[in-house]
Structure 1
């Protein structure tokens, strides 16, 4: 059991993170319950709770019923003590939510697309939101491109963001902990969080997209990023003698919705489903509900079965990608919030 003798800075941060997580998960707890659940000594828990109560991070919500001794004080976390902001950048617009430590939305909206502008415009937008919510302590940003630890290294069509360490730019400009994530990785995180997907589940989340197709991939509950963080860039998957997946989806005249074009699109997606089935054998392949109709899903299943035995096909389903995307970014932002250092909050 951890006591407060010679606690390092890292250990102190871990204790605070654990207390925050437990109170947020269970709603409330006593010192005894926290000490027992976290395997941290009662005096140490008491010391940290006192500090957190003094700065308004936790509050006491009354006394428990007596079990023969002194009645225990029950504590709860103040969910609005820290806020986060989740932002995702798209071709047509920029969507955002301001949320608290319970994931409750404080403000939600959209504005013009910032992908064509300098990244400092994005920093200015975040700073403007912080002027309204001074306790924003985490930023989560989603982008339609490949990301390696905060650096966007593949984002076709948006040179202002190409090879930019966006995490570093925002943290240096605003001094707010920031996470930057690929759009489909964020969406698949949000999908799993909302549905409480277990660690043994594998799935493939496909977005055909305005900027070209992309995918979020989960194997046994974990995001697959790959050697160079290029995983999920399915545009490049070769499908025909002279066409990759992106080219196969794009064939035909702009705006054309002929039966022949729809057949070609269905075949291209079915070939990808068959390839993913053969390589990953996932439980689910998720499509965006504003891109695929239920009838088309049935057609994809039947066409895919001409390429791979039907009994091995995953379940095909559709989901609200925007909803999943924002929830995924909020989940990443919440992880930053509960890991905040004490010095960062002053």
Structure 2
């Protein structure tokens, strides 16, 4: 960890996060194995594990078989002690999931809501959950809007010129004293789709993944973008808001879709949008779906795309099998990442900021 600086308390938090992350990845380890993997001294590992044991965040699994010397003790995360709570907001309902650090679902519910005051509705749900779940360590919320991740606020609105602001993440974090990650719902879907791909391919990393995930709903069209395995937010967190792509004559993609165009016009416009995004970000994979997407036209859309896109740079175009699953998977994983993220490190040699 040469080149990094921090106060003793900060470095302790970093080391705890490193140990937890490794236990999450590999399932169980001895003190010596954790020391070797993380680069933390065995003395420090021993001290931090004792503290984690006292806090019930880590459990002992027993002693390894003897190899001639002293038998080493093996440790693992207490999966029931640290839980993640993730919300997925839709127009007239809120779905939430409680999971352990391995994304194993402990509780899943869908709540019909009577207003679009999502803060009020989530607060009601949280007040009820907190009565029986004191081990919620992080909260994630997938929202339909432009998210300021650092401030945990978001902007929403169907009109490009008129936006409303909600401080939902900031408020919840302060009220319940639990860290909150706020993310755009389409970004959560794209991220969740990549997680599902990793699970299906049985790999730990998809750093080469380049994808745009386009989603059609009654509220409009949006997308989540992943380049080289990383979610793209943009300078003003507006990346992916393709519903505001201008089509000419004062019309945007959102208003075009809402006008319920004829199939021919729909096929041509959607194909042009895919071709445009292909020129800008060059994805290998385009995933399209959503409740209002005309799936029956997918083959014709692909054929029309081929007339707008050079054959050698034609992305694979697929239907999103389950956007709800993708969104929940994405926001759960982002919440778990927050739970085990530790703190920011400042590299004095490169002046970059990285997260553990």
The alignment's C-alpha RMSD in Å is 2.2
Aligned to 1:183: 185
Q: CA deviation at 1:80?
A: 1.0
Aligned to 2:280: 279
Q: CA deviation at 1:340?
A: 6.5
Deviations 1:3-27 (A, max 9, x none): xxx9711111111111111111111
Which whole-Å CA distance do the structure 2 matches of 1:27 and 1:172 have between them?
A: 32
Deviations 1:102-148 (A, max 9, x none): 21111001011365236233222112111121111211001111111
Aligned to 2:268: 267
Does structure 2 conserve the Cα–Cα contact (< 8 Å) formed by 1:94 and 1:114?
Answer: no
Which whole-Å CA distance do the structure 2 matches of 1:206 and 1:300 have between them?
A: 14
Q: Which runs of 5+ in 2 are unaligned?
A: 199-204, 344-356
Q: CA deviation at 1:295?
A: 4.7
Q: CA deviation at 1:305?
A: 1.7
SS of the residue aligned with 1:74? strand
User: Does residue 210 of structure 2 align to residue 202 of structure 1?
Assistant: yes
Aligned to 1:224: 232
Aligned to 1:163: 165
Which whole-Å CA distance do the structure 2 matches of 1:155 and 1:286 have between them?
A: 24
Which whole-Å CA distance do the structure 2 matches of 1:242 and 1:162 have between them?
A: 22
Which whole-Å CA distance do the structure 2 matches of 1:13 and 1:209 have between them?
A: 42
TM-score (norm 2): 0.86
Aligned to 2:289: 288
Does structure 2 conserve the Cα–Cα contact (< 8 Å) formed by 1:89 and 1:113?
Answer: no
Q: CA deviation at 1:263?
A: 2.0
Does structure 1 conserve the Cα–Cα contact (< 8 Å) formed by 2:289 and 2:319?
Answer: yes
Q: CA deviation at 1:156?
A: 3.5
SS of the residue aligned with 1:213? strand
SS of the residue aligned with 1:180? strand
Query: In proportion to residue count, which structure has more strand?
Result: 2
65-74 or 148-157, which deviates more: 148-157
Which whole-Å CA distance do the structure 2 matches of 1:336 and 1:188 have between them?
A: 18
SS of the residue aligned with 2:208? coil
119-128 or 38-47, which deviates more: 119-128
Does structure 2 conserve the Cα–Cα contact (< 8 Å) formed by 1:20 and 1:338?
Answer: yes
Q: CA deviation at 1:266?
A: 1.6
Aligned to 2:194: 192
SS of the residue aligned with 1:96? strand
Map 1:232-271 to 2 at 5 A: 232-252=240-260, 261-271=262-272
Which whole-Å CA distance do the structure 1 matches of 2:7 and 2:171 have between them?
A: 33
Aligned to 2:144: 144
SS of the residue aligned with 2:283? coil
Does structure 1 conserve the Cα–Cα contact (< 8 Å) formed by 2:220 and 2:258?
Answer: no
Which whole-Å CA distance do the structure 2 matches of 1:100 and 1:42 have between them?
A: 28
Does structure 1 conserve the Cα–Cα contact (< 8 Å) formed by 2:138 and 2:179?
Answer: yes
Q: CA deviation at 1:78?
A: 0.7
Gap change, CA 1:302 and 1:206, over 3 Å in 2: same
SS of the residue aligned with 2:251? coil
SS of the residue aligned with 1:200? coil
Which whole-Å CA distance do the structure 1 matches of 2:228 and 2:221 have between them?
A: 23
Does structure 1 conserve the Cα–Cα contact (< 8 Å) formed by 2:218 and 2:292?
Answer: no
Which whole-Å CA distance do the structure 2 matches of 1:232 and 1:7 have between them?
A: 38
Q: CA deviation at 1:91?
A: 0.6
Which whole-Å CA distance do the structure 1 matches of 2:55 and 2:257 have between them?
A: 55
Q: CA deviation at 1:293?
A: 6.3
SS of the residue aligned with 1:163? strand
TM-score (norm 1): 0.88
Equivalent residues, number: 328
Q: Which runs of 5+ in 1 are unaligned?
A: 253-259, 342-346
